């Protein structure tokens, strides 16, 4: 262990349970919580990270080191990446029949999880709405791809979700309006109070989810809530990575006429032929092609 800088106490281990900007809430391994900041302007710390912190006086501390991660779930646009959560063992993508969810957002979250080698499943919330049966039918495609799909109405009962959380660190993601906050408040009764407390501390006056936060559901089960998504960039993927992240494409990769086939408009594409034969869903191929076009337009390099 390296020596602490002058004026700082020795380091101690902790868990990042809330991340907002360059400010973090740390649950110390020995007990208690402390607010922390990072050094410098850039931050490479995510909710769920295991860290080493050193107190700096005034009840605050500095994150001195981030421990090696088992997993990292993040998104990226043309210039930079946005860390969402670290060390999660599964991602639950929350969708709902109303407001309608975006297929591309669902597919990109799944692709991001696949690329990060994190298990993924889909939760269809608001299953009591009249539009729910049609939404469930549309998700049959994903059941066929091997993804579990859970139906529930979080305002009434979150019991269908509980068996899937056992012994996991679960990340909830989804676009705004899908009911993630309702799910969290049902799973963790004190969550609303914590959100209000942080909102007051930040001076935002808002109770919507604006930061990632980890909650202990049970002694062996944690859940991380994250801000609602409007888009999910995957600019950190190469075209080959993107194709591999669509699970139904994998048996077909390497079978195209051209070795560098992007599966967009090239002749002799094995994935295009599989879609024409009904073995690959046209909606998934179209979703992938929109992602491939985005990747083709990205700069040669982007900042982290």
Which CATH superfamily does the domain covering 239-297 fall into?
Answer: Probable gtpase engc; domain 3 (1.10.40.50)
Compute how many other C-beta atoms are within 10 angstroms of the C-beta atom of residue 89.
Answer: 14
- Mean pLDDT confidence for 9-38: 92
pLDDT of 262 reads 94
What are the DSSP calls for 90-138, one per residue?
EEEEEE-TTTTPPHHHHHHHHHHHHHTT-EEEEEE--TTSTTHHHHHHH
Compute how many other C-beta atoms are within 10 angstroms of the C-beta atom of residue 25.
Answer: 22
pLDDT over threshold 60, residue 196: no
Compute how many other C-beta atoms are within 10 angstroms of the C-beta atom of residue 160.
Answer: 15
Choose among 24, 3, 55: nearest CA to 212. 24
pLDDT over threshold 80, residue 210: no
pLDDT of 198 reads 45
Q: Token pair of 113, please?
A: 């999880």
Evaluate whether 51 touches 43 at the Cβ level (below 8 Å).
Answer: no
Residues of the chain with CATH 3.40.50.300: 72-225
The fold of 12-66 is OB fold (Dihydrolipoamide Acetyltransferase, E2P) (2.40.50)
Choose among 178, 176, 183: nearest CA to 230. 176
- Counting residues of the chain whose pLDDT is more than 70, the rounded percentage is 88
pLDDT of 20 reads 85
- Mean pLDDT confidence for 187-214: 60
Evaluate whether 184 touches 177 at the Cβ level (below 8 Å).
Answer: no
Flag the least confident range among 31-35, 134-138, 205-209, 274-278: 205-209
Q: What are 70-93's pLDDT values in tens digits?
A: 999 999 987 789 999 999 999 999
pLDDT over threshold 70, residue 300: no
pLDDT over threshold 70, residue 209: no
Q: What is the band of 27 on the pLDDT scale with cuts at 50, 70, 90?
A: very high
Flag the least confident range among 15-19, 89-93, 192-196, 252-256: 192-196
Could you tell me which residue, 195 or 289, shows the higher pLDDT? 289
Compute CA distances 57 → 52, 54, 61, whole Å.
16, 9, 7
Q: What are 171-183's pLDDT values in tens digits?
A: 999 999 999 989 9
Question: 298: Cβ–Cβ under 8 A, 6 or more apart, which residues?
Answer: 78, 235
pLDDT over threshold 60, residue 8: no
pLDDT over threshold 50, residue 204: no
pLDDT over threshold 90, residue 248: yes
Could you tell me which residue, 44 or 206, shows the higher pLDDT? 44
Q: Which H or E run includes 75?
A: strand 72-76
Residues of the chain with CATH 2.40.50.140: 12-66
Q: Where are the beta strands (DSSP E) in 127-207?
A: 149-151, 169-173
Residues of the chain with CATH 1.10.40.50: 239-297
- Mean pLDDT confidence for 145-149: 98
Question: 208: Cβ–Cβ under 8 A, 6 or more apart, which residues?
Answer: 181, 228
Q: Token pair of 281, please?
A: 């869903």
pLDDT of 283 reads 97
pLDDT over threshold 50, residue 229: yes
Q: What is the CATH number of domain 72-225?
A: 3.40.50.300
Evaluate whether 281 touches 289 at the Cβ level (below 8 Å).
Answer: no
């Amino acid at each position: 262990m390296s020596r602490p800088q002058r004026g700082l106490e020795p380091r101690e281990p902790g868990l990042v349970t809330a991340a907002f900007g360059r400010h973090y809430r740390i649950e110390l391994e020995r007990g208690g919580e402390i607010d922390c900041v990072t050094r410098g302007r850039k931050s490479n710390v995510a909710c769920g990270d295991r860290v080493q912190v050193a107190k700096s006086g005034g009840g605050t501390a500095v994150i001195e080191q981030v421990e090696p991660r088992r997993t990292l779930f993040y998104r990226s646009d043309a210039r930079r990446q946005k860390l969402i959560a670290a060390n999660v063992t599964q991602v639950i993508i929350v969708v709902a029949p109303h407001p309608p969810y975006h297929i591309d957002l669902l597919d990109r979250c799944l692709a991001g999880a696949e690329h990060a080698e994190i298990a993924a499943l889909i939760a269809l919330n608001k299953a009591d709405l009249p539009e729910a049966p049609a939404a469930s039918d549309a998700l049959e495609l994903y059941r066929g791809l091997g993804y579990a799909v859970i139906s529930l109405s979080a305002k009434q009962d979150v019991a269908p979700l509980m068996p899937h959380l056992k012994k996991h660190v679960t990340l909830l993601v989804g676009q705004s309006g899908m009911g993630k906050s309702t799910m969290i408040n049902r799973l963790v009764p004190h969550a609303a109070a914590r959100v209000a407390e942080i909102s007051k501390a930040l001076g935002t006056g808002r109770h919507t989810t604006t930061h990632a936060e980890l909650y202990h559901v049970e002694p062996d089960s944690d859940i991380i809530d994250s801000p609602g998504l409007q888009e999910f960039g995957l600019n950190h993927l190469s075209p080959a990575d993107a194709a591999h992240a669509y699970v139904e494409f994998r048996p077909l990769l390497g079978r195209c006429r051209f070795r560098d086939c992007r599966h967009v408009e090239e002749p002799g594409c094995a994935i295009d032929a599989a879609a024409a034969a009904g073995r690959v869903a046209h909606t998934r191929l179209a979703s992938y092609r929109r992602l491939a076009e985005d990747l083709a337009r990205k700069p040669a390099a982007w900042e982290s």
